[in-house]
Amino acid sequence: MLYKVKSPPTTRLQKIQKSAVETHRSANQHAKECFNSLTGPRRVGPVPGFFKPIQNAAPSSSTSRNTKISVVGAGNVGMAIAQTILTQDLVDELALVDAKPDKLRGEMLDLQHAAAFLPRTKILASVDYSATVGSDLCIVTAGARQIAGESRLNLLQRNVALFRDIIPPLVKYSPDCILMIVSNPVDVLTYVAWKLSGLPPNRVVGSGTNLDSSRFRFLIADHLDVNAQEVQACIIGEHGDSSVALWSSISVGGVPILSFLEKQQIAYEKETLEKIHKAVVDSAYEVISLKGYTSWAIGYSAANLARSILRDQRKIHPVSVLAKGLYGIQGGDDVFLSLPAVLGRAGVLGVTDVHLTDEEARRLRESARTISEVQSQLGI
C-alpha cells in the first residue's frame, strides 16, 4: 500500500459535541435510576404507593384496543405528517421507522419532549420494522432522491428497489393494515406497493391529488375572497403534469360556478381556467424552489386522510386508487390514479360517479395512459 488513509483530526467543536451527548445520556440514566429508587421499575398502570386507588374500582376492560399509525421515513415530509397526527390526537401509538438511527432517535426524543403540550400518545422509533407491529395504518414517505442528470425512469427503479425492502415487512408485521403511499411518483409507487404487498386494492391508497385539490380550492377561494372550505373543487388523474381539473363540477356555497357565469352572461376565457390549473401544478415546484422541499401542506393532507380512514368518516377524497374499469379507463394494465373516493375503516369504500364532460373524460384517459406507459417499463 502506497498511502495510508489517516482519519481527520478531531476538532474542538466535535469534542465539545461528543462530551455534551455523553453528559446528556449520563444524566438521563441517572434520572431513571433516581426515579426507579422511588417508584420501582417502569410498569404498566399506576405506580403502587404513588397514586391512591378508588375504593371498589372494577379492573380495566380487556376489550380496549389502541389505534396505531406507523410512518416510514423520518425526513421533512414524514416528520410533518407525524407532527400533524400528534397534534390532531388521531392515535394512541405512533411508530417511526428510518434507516438513519441517530436522526431517528433525535426526532423521537424531540417529539417526546413535547409530551406536556400534546395529547397522550406513545411514540417509539426503530430501524427495525418490528416496531410497526399491529399498525392500523402504515404511511410510507421514504424515497430515493434524484441525482443530477438522472432519468426519471432510473430514479423510479431505485424507488422500486427501496419499496421491495419496505412493503413486505410492513405487511408481515401488520397484515390487517391499510397502506398509504406518499412517496413520489405517488401513483406508480402506489401500484408498486399494491403488487408487493399482496393486499386487496381497497387497502392500498396513495395520497394522490388530495393536496392538489386543496391548492385548487385555496386559489379559487382566494380569488373570490371566501373560506376555502366553502369551495367544492377537485383535481383527478395523475399527481403531476397530466392531472385534470374538474371545472364542470366546481361549486361555491352550493352554487355551480360555470353554470352561474353562463346564466349571468358573464364571459370567461378557457385560457384563464387553464392558468389557474397550471398554478396548482406549479405550486409545489415554487415551494421547493423557495425552501428546498414541501412538508406542512402534505403533512396536513396525509393527516386529513388518516382521520377519514381511522375514524370511519366516509368522506370523499381525490386519492390514488385502482382505476381499471372506472370512468372508461380500460386496457390490459392495472393503473392507480386519483379519483374521488369514499374513505373509511376498510380503506377505499367506493369511487363516486362524478359527471365528466367529454373533454375531462378524454384528459383522464390520457393521464391513465401516461402512468401506464411508465409502469410498463418497471417489469413488475
Look at strands 178-181 and 204-206 and give their pairing: parallel
Residue 320's DSSP bridge partners are 206, 338
294 three-class SS: coil
Cα separation, 340 vs 329, whole angstroms: 15
Cα separation, 21 vs 23, whole angstroms: 5
Cα separation, 251 vs 258, whole angstroms: 8
The reply to whether 30 belongs to the active site is no
Q: In what order do the strands lie in the sheet with 122-126?
A: 122-126, 93-97, 68-72, 137-140, 178-181, 204-206, 315-322, 336-344, 347-351
Catalytic residue (choose from 113, 223, 239, 317): 239
Quickly tell me which residue has 420494522 as its cell. 129
- Do residues 340 and 351 lie in contact, with contact meaning Cβ atoms separated by under 8 Å? yes
Cα separation, 237 vs 110, whole angstroms: 38
Q: What is the DSSP string of 207-274?
A: -TTHHHHHHHHHHHHHHHTS-GGGEE--EEB-SSTT-EE-GGG-EETTEEHHHHHHHTT----HHHHH
Q: Supply the residues annotated as catalytic.
A: 239
